[in-house]
Structure 1
Amino acid sequence: MRRPSNAYITGLEARIASLEKMLALATSGSDTSALDKRGNQERNWSVVDFTDVEPCSPLKETRCFEAPSEKTVDELVDALGCFTLGDTGELRFFGASSNFSIIHNHPLRVASSGDARKRGIAAARQMPGFFEPSDELRDHLLELYWQWQNSWQYIVARESFVLDLYVHKTGRFCTPLLLTAMLALASRYSSRPEVRTSPEDANTAGEMLTAQARTMLHHEYEAPTTSTVQAAGLLGLYWAALDREGLGFMYIGMASRMAMNLGLHSDCSAYISRGFITEEDVEARNIAFWGIYVLDKLYCVGMGRPAGIQEFNITTAKPKAQDRVLIGLTEEQLKISQPWATSHITINAMQMCEIFIITSEVVDQL
């Protein structure tokens, strides 16, 4: 039997120390109103205010952000939890019930997102009949995606994705897995024979790209990023288009679980001013989460199954209904990428979210 990790042991020690302190307060006759309030009232679902934290560079061994000295362990136990920073700069989340949410400045060994992504790409390239679309075919499929898919199922932050694809090329918002999943789903709208496994059979559109995306996802889900969540959701939609709702339901479930792992449901805007995350990152996370939320509810209604995302866990804000100026794109790239105003898409998507929020309690009891 393997020895527990140092991080796990430290977490248990922190939890025991917290419980001992609470017990001492209870047995000493001290004012226990704070304890009663914690036990009998709803938790204060807010992000821990790490005022004294200095920004740190992304590490392969992530660290829980250190709390200010005036915050006691007991107060932190009642907070929503804490975020850690992965090697690609991606936030990961530990909730209040986890021991890892009350230990600070201690290395937590997690799989490397960058390494997982590289392994996935390498595995996909080794597949028989590996298919890499030309730039012309890629843009054709992306035009279909922005026109017909993203306009009503808002999962991908379009401006951030497009700028990363054509201009910045950082892999922050446009990853090979996400791009492949988008192209696979967009192939369902295309009449081009090269996107089909069998040129005469329209039902095979996107099969090659989907197989490659599944292979990459198999490696990435051990260390997911926001783009991994988006890709899993899009693959769930792909299977629904083939009348394989059961498989699609499982992919949407994977997407919602990975979203929780990354804390997409939790408000992380407080970390912008401290340099851990940018406003653009927060917006991309919000778009991804609420997009997966809608898919989760659609499958819940369509298949009569319990929803994976519960509203009382959500503290993150909804995406902003605003349009951005895309600088650095050619006229053709702009034409492909902006068939509809982002503000219009966002408003429609958030109205759909509001409908599900209002009706969720009734739907869950059907």
Structure 2
Amino acid sequence: MSEFQPISYTPRTGDNTSGRREKHATKACNVCRKRKGKCDGENGLRTCSYCRKHRHDCSFDPNDGRGPVWNKQTMEAYKVAVDSLTAQNIALQEEVARLKEWKDAMTLESSNTHSSTSETSSVDIDITELCDMVDRRLVMQDNNQLMVYGGWSPFVSLGHSSPSAPLSEKGQDHPAPLATPSVQLVPTNHCSMLHSADGSAWRRFLPADAVLTLPGQDPYDPSEHDGLLHLFFQFFASWNFRVSPTLFWRDMYEALKPNASPSSLRTAHYSPFLHNAMLSIAAAYSDSLAIKAHPNRILFANAAKAMFEDECQSPTISTVSGFSFLASFHSGRNEHALGFVYIGLSVRMARALGLNINCSHWVKSGDIHDSDMRDRYWGFWTTYSQDVWWSLYVGREFSINFSHVVIPLPSDDNLPEDDHPWYLPGVDDSDIPSMRRDVFIQTCRLTVIATKIMDLIYGLNQRTGSAHQFLATLRIEIQQWAINVPKELAATDTALPNVLMMHIAASWLIILMERPFYSIDLESISRKRCQSAVHDILENVRRWKERYTLRFTPITLTCALFGAATTNLLSISRAPQRAHVLRAKLHGGIKECIGYLNDIGETWACGAQIAQILVGLLQAGEKGKEVGPEEDDSLETPASELVDMYVYQSQISPAEAE
């Protein structure tokens, strides 16, 4: 019998008395559906006549597709709403857990407060000793650089490991302001002041046999050197704020001027090691074949490496930056293993200097200046960003554990100054703000999201709970990031290179986040987001090419293009054979990416290498199309397995997603 009691039914006036057809239910019960007969029942309201007569269980299938028709847009809107609520639920659960831990800690502290006086005194002493161990993690070296050691390490005795005097004895809450140089430097005259003081000083620590002047120029003419560094600052080092041009030229002037102190040779923003490492990259932007030739660039890289042990023995923040640029030098030449080694050295030096540790108490004591703390915060965040984007570039885990970071995110209040303007003859002849700091602040927030995305992807097989829940949370985070980007940092036809690179990187992250779910997402949200990200990458690269040419780019752009092209390859492998228009469009996007990569390859060999990889994949796909069956639209090309291997090896099954 039905779980619902039959309801007596009295025909309404005129029902079935006028000879018209009797109305039937819009949704038949299971019995009537099976016998393919008419049904007049209503789910939960009325047992149908047939079931009542034959005493059947008049039940209805809740998954019956008949009923209200919802289009794809409505279903997608509901899906987004559910994802949003799921993400909020996860966040609330985490907050509840955090508050519970806090409450337990407060309860324990309250119980300790009612202990005896001697016990309280003992606890206070233990806490003091514990805090002292934490303070001792940063140790002041003989070169006035802070290094990090564990409080249990014997090396904490190599220098004083706590501020020199308490604040109450200092009589001030903040250190004295950094003494300004005797001569105030304006961004436009840093170079002129350097060269006017000593016309040959700029070559002092550069290899004597390296070419840095054009044919017919005086060997000490600095114009080509300065021009290449300008391009380097504008196009290569501006994204992730890898160098402050203002502070580099300032410190270079202070280091190379007559009667300069030896300590000025190695600062946070300049050293001969950093200078040579930068030129090994900047020389690639030259129009002169002699200057941009690999043998000439290797001279600068080798000159930097000759200083390796001295730098490691007494590292500074410029040591960290120099290793990072040597990593880029080798990566640009397709020497990816060497590049990975040098970025690892950069991260190691950053950790040795304790750049991820809050040093505000050293500032308050007056042992270091506020500008030193700003340099340390900047040094950490630019290294952290390089570590993350490098790991994404080569597909390996990060070296820096974000949970160990105890310093604030970058902001206008904690970054070093940089008022070096943007200008590019023939494009922007007048000075405009470079917005390095502004882009860097937003990029670091994006980089934090990148670590969460890769944690999701790498942990799919070990993660408890639904992967879609974490995906929904990350979708909201990256959407919120995009909403919070200031209007002046929007991707437009006149946007600066670092702004365009930031938006390209955000689109690349969306591809990395969504592509593992590409084949299992029944609502096709991941597929649509991937396709939208590919569109945005190609649009912004077109803007870059039309305004600046692709000879001047950072290396990371190559991987974003590879991500866009392989996503199109994946779409082709999943598309029906008879979808000729769609396949032609996707094919055109891949060829566009290959063309861009070949343009980049004129400067960075890795661009041409990645282009050749794509050509091979495309040819494999075309071969699969020729031999593949065309009778069944649902069949994929035989090349799809090869495409999947390159596209993403962490594709997950529906069971793993739930």
TM-score > 0.5, shorter chain as reference: yes
Say if 2:150 is the partner of 1:92: no
Give 1:98-247 correspondences, 5 Å limit: 98-101=153-156, 105=160, 129=209, 134=220, 135-166=222-253, 170-171=264-265, 172=267, 173-196=269-292, 202-204=293-295, 206-247=297-338
Aligned partner (choices 446, 463, 466) of residue 352 of structure 1: 446
SS of the residue corresponding to residue 305 of structure 1 reads: coil
Which structure 1 residue ranges, 5 or more long, are not aligned? 1-29, 36-68, 107-123, 197-201
Matched residue, 1:83: 138
The structure number with the bigger radius of gyration is: 2
CA deviation after TM superposition for structure 1 residue 93, in Å: 1.2
* Shift in CA distance, 316/102, structure 1 to aligned 2, threshold 3 Å: farther
Which structure 2 residue ranges, 5 or more long, are not aligned? 1-117, 162-203, 214-219, 257-263, 460-649, 651-658
Please say if residues 358 and 406 of structure 2, whose CA atoms lie closer than 8 Å, have aligned partners that are also in contact: yes
The separation in 1 between residues aligned to 2:349 and 2:305, in whole angstroms, is 15
Matched residue, 2:371: 280
SS of the residue corresponding to residue 272 of structure 1 reads: helix
Cα deviation per residue 1:64-116 (whole Å; 9 max; x = unaligned)? xxxxx997434433x2643222333221111345344589859xxxxxxxxxx
Please say if residues 138 and 147 of structure 2, whose CA atoms lie closer than 8 Å, have aligned partners that are also in contact: yes
CA deviation after TM superposition for structure 1 residue 358, in Å: 3.1
The separation in 2 between residues aligned to 1:227 and 1:325, in whole angstroms, is 16
Q: Percent identity?
A: 24
* Shift in CA distance, 103/71, structure 1 to aligned 2, threshold 3 Å: farther
The separation in 2 between residues aligned to 1:212 and 1:337, in whole angstroms, is 34
Please say if residues 236 and 252 of structure 1, whose CA atoms lie closer than 8 Å, have aligned partners that are also in contact: yes
The separation in 2 between residues aligned to 1:84 and 1:186, in whole angstroms, is 36
Please say if residues 76 and 102 of structure 1, whose CA atoms lie closer than 8 Å, have aligned partners that are also in contact: no
* Shift in CA distance, 75/90, structure 1 to aligned 2, threshold 3 Å: closer
The separation in 2 between residues aligned to 1:337 and 1:241, in whole angstroms, is 30
Please say if residues 95 and 101 of structure 1, whose CA atoms lie closer than 8 Å, have aligned partners that are also in contact: yes
Code of the aligned partner of 2:372? D
Please say if residues 291 and 297 of structure 2, whose CA atoms lie closer than 8 Å, have aligned partners that are also in contact: yes
The separation in 1 between residues aligned to 2:307 and 2:450, in whole angstroms, is 32
SS of the residue corresponding to residue 275 of structure 2 reads: helix
Aligned partner (choices 373, 385, 390) of residue 299 of structure 1: 390
Code of the aligned partner of 2:314? A
Please say if residues 157 and 284 of structure 1, whose CA atoms lie closer than 8 Å, have aligned partners that are also in contact: no
Instruction: Return the TM-score normalized by structure 2.
Output: 0.37
Please say if residues 301 and 363 of structure 1, whose CA atoms lie closer than 8 Å, have aligned partners that are also in contact: no
Matched residue, 1:249: 340
Code of the aligned partner of 2:209? G
Matched residue, 2:500: none
Instruction: Return the TM-score normalized by structure 1.
Output: 0.64
Cα deviation per residue 1:167-214 (whole Å; 9 max; x = unaligned)? 676332211111111121112222233424xxxxx4445221111111
Q: Number of matched residues?
A: 277
SS of the residue corresponding to residue 221 of structure 1 reads: helix
CA deviation after TM superposition for structure 1 residue 227, in Å: 0.6
CA deviation after TM superposition for structure 1 residue 264, in Å: 0.8
* Shift in CA distance, 363/249, structure 1 to aligned 2, threshold 3 Å: farther
CA deviation after TM superposition for structure 1 residue 284, in Å: 1.9
Please say if residues 140 and 159 of structure 2, whose CA atoms lie closer than 8 Å, have aligned partners that are also in contact: no
Code of the aligned partner of 2:286? S
